[in-house]
Structures are given as C-alpha cells and as structure tokens.
C-alpha cells in the first residue's frame, strides 16, 4: 500500500464557484483528494458534480476559488493543462475514436514518433513501440482479453472499451484519475470488472475520483464519499461511518452531518 503519512491532499479545491448565467453550478465548494484513495463523489442531479469535475479536469474554468495539485496552485485552461499535471479523466461519453485501433486510441493526442530522421523529418510514428507499450499497459491492468492490439475499438464490447479508456487514463504516469460514471452504460459483469480495475489502479498507488449514481458500487470501492448538494460539499463520510440510506438523506438535504462526524482526513 502506498498510503502516505502526509496529510497533504494530492488534489485540493478551495471555495470554487461557477455560475452559468443565473444558474449556480458551484457555490464556494471545497474538495480534497488524498494520495492513494478512491474518493466517490455523489449527489443529486444539478448538485454540481459535473461542474466540479470539469473544473478539476480543466474542461471548465471556475469563476473564483483556488485549486492545488500536490500543494501547488494551478489554473487549468484546457484538459491538456490538467493532463500535464498528471490528472487524467475518463468521460462518461467514452472519449475513444471507434475506427482507430486500441494502441492508436491509447496514444491518441500523444503519439510516439520514431527516433532519428524518420521521426524528426518524416514525422513517422513508432507503431511497433506504441503497440508493445499498449499491450504492456493493458496487461498490467489485467484487461488484455482483446484479440489483438490492432483491433479497431468499435469491435469491442462496452466493457472492453471502458477498459481501454481507463487504461489510457492510467498509462501515462498519471497521479490522479477521474472517472465519470464509468459503469453507467455497462452490464453487471462488465461493471464488476471495471470496479476491479479501479481497485487495481488504487493498488498501483493512483488516486481516484469516482463519480457515480450507483450506491452499492460506491460503497464497494470508495474509501471516502464526498456528498455534493446545491453546489457545495454537504459532507464527507465513509462507507463504514454511514449507511447507504443515510448518504441518500444527506444528498437530498434530509440529514446533515456535523463536521466532527465527517471524515475530512485520509483513511488510508
């Protein structure tokens, strides 16, 4: 376990606010993710989950507030900025290109060129290396049940595609992986495999933010649960300290948790 003794959050947000016209997405929202944990973010529709995640991944810029990665203040202008800081996002819409093959998808946007004149002048891609490394990272995650690394992604099942997307997020020395509803479109077995994949990523020392509506899954994998309500953090609890119905109650505002009973420090 790479659980650290330091209490420095790997991702931290202070007083984030974001409005869309008169609609308030985030209102002075705080957020902490500690190294090596799975933090679930739950909340009702319109609670600001997506807005929070989009701010953290650089897809949206907050109106005010600060964000820190490893204690360093950051401002993200695009998803490339967050990626450069080691924050990878797997989107609900599965940001894969179906016609491209698995290795092309893993390396989409950060292709490896050949060394020497072939790569520098002729911009030639090192497909061999990309395929070998793609195979390696899929193997590491234990998801290489695909026929061939040169198989186009559209011939894969939903779970396999999700595995490719997760593998891509975990393959580039990233520290933080944000998963947006990763099991929303999957069947029971495929969901179980993706949850296993999330646990594997955690074993490898990655910090994970999991957005989900599925309480049993959240309680299965999460170390801590960040409950979002009306653009704010309503509470942070753990699967041990609270029941599923209590979390739902916090989501809907039927229950409040005093700060003393919350889990604002790392558990791992």
Partner 1 sequence: MSSTAPTTAADEFADKASTMQKVQSSLHRYPWLSPLFVLALLLVIFGVLGLVMGVGDLENFFKPGTISLMLQQTVIVGTLAIAQTIVILTAGIDLSIGAIMVFAQMFMANLAVYTTASNVTFMAGQNPVLAVFIGLIVATLAGGLNGFLIVRFNLPPFIVTLGTLSIFTALTLILFKARTIQGKEMPDFMLLMSTKFELGPLTFTLGLIVMLLLYVLFAYILRGTAWGTHVYAVGDDPVAAELSGINVKRVLFSVYVVAGVVIGVAAWITIGRTAAASPNVAPEINLETITAVVIGGTSLFGGRGRLLGTLLGTFIIVVLDFGLSLAGLDQAYRVLAIGVLVIAAVAVDQWIRKVKA
Which positions touch partner 1 (CB under 8 A)? 79-80, 83, 89, 91, 93-100, 104, 108-111, 113, 122-125, 127, 145-148, 151-152, 154-157, 160
Smallest separation, CB 156 to partner 1 (Å): 6
Q: Which of 212, 222, 137 lies closest to 174 in space, CA to CA? A: 137
**Beta carbon of residue 194, minimum distance to partner 1 (angstroms, whole number):** 16
Paired sense of beta strands 207-211 and 38-43, if any: parallel
Q: How far apart are CA 83 and CA 51, in angstroms?
A: 18
Q: Smallest distance from the beta carbon of 204 to partner 1, in angstroms?
A: 22
**Residue number, 53 or 237, with CB nearest to partner 1:** 53
DSSP state of 112: P
Please report how close the Cβ of residue 123 comes to partner 1 at its closest, in angstroms.
4
Q: Toward partner 1, which CB reaches closer, 56 or 215?
A: 56
Only one residue has tokens 């916090």, namely: 250
Give whichever of 150 and 256 is closer to partner 1, judged by the CB atom: 150
**Residue 157 Cβ, how far from partner 1 at the closest point, in Å?**
5
158-170 and 127-140 helices, crossing angle to 10°: 100
- Whole-angstrom CA distances from 74 to 7, 28, 82 are 19, 17, 9
Among 60, 75, 73, 69, CA closest to 18: 60
And the tokens for 213?
A: 């509506």
Is 98 or 205 the residue whose CB approaches partner 1 more closely?
Answer: 98
The 8-class DSSP code of residue 173 comes to S
Q: Which is nearer to partner 1, 111 or 200 (CB)?
A: 111
């Amino acid at each position: 376990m790479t659980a650290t003794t330091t209490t420095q959050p790997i991702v931290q947000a202070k007083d984030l606010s974001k409005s869309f016209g008169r609609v308030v997405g985030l209102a002075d929202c705080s957020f902490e993710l500690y190294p090596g944990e799975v933090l679930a973010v739950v909340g009702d529709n319109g609670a600001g989950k997506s807005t929070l995640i989009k701010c953290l991944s650089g897809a949206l810029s907050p109106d005010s507030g600060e964000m820190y990665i490893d204690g360093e203040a950051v401002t993200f202008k695009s998803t490339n900025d967050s990626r450069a800081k080691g924050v990878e996002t797997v989107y609900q819409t599965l940001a894969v290109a179906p016609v491209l093959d698995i290795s092309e998808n893993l390396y989409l946007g950060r292709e490896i060129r050949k060394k020497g004149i072939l790569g520098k002048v002729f911009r030639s891609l090192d497909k061999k290396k990309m395929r070998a490394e793609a195979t390696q990272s899929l193997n590491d995650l234990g998801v290489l049940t695909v026929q061939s690394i040169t198989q186009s992604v559209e011939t894969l099942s939903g779970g396999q595609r999700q595995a490719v997307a997760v593998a891509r997020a975990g393959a580039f020395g990233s520290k933080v992986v944000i998963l947006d509803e990763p099991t929303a479109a999957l069947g029971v077995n495929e969901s179980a495999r993706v949850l296993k994949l999330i646990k594997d990523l955690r074993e490898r020392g990655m910090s994970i933010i999991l957005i989900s509506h599925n309480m049993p899954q959240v309680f299965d994998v999460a170390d801590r649960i960040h409950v979002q309500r009306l653009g704010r953090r309503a509470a942070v609890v753990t699967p041990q300290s609270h029941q599923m119905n209590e979390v739902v109650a916090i989501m809907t505002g039927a229950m409040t948790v005093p700060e003393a009973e919350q889990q604002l420090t790392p558990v791992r």
